[in-house]
Amino acid sequence: DDDFAMDANALASLVDADVAEGHVPCLVVATVGTTSSGAIDPVSSICDVAGPVGAWVHVDSAW
């Protein structure tokens, strides 16, 4: 987004496209407080996308 955080809607579209092509999403890496921009990803929304396809979510933080 404009604050450099992950867009969960865009993630959902990409995950759906991967699944449609027969790929198995396995991991999404989110950040909470990046050192360069301070971006905070919408972790709950990311989990809502990753969970149904069985992908793990790793949350990294630098602050």
Q: What pLDDT score was predicted for residue 28?
A: 98
Distances (CA, A) of 58 to 4, 24, 32, 50: 18, 17, 11, 11
Q: How confident is the model at residue 1 (pLDDT cuts 50, 70, 90)?
A: confident
Q: Look at residue 47 and tell me whether its pLDDT is greater than 80.
A: yes
Q: What pLDDT score was predicted for residue 43?
A: 98
Q: What pLDDT score was predicted for residue 36?
A: 85
Q: Three-class SS of residue 48?
A: helix
**Per-residue pLDDT tens digits for 2-45:** 889 999 999 999 999 999 999 999 999 999 998 888 899 999 99
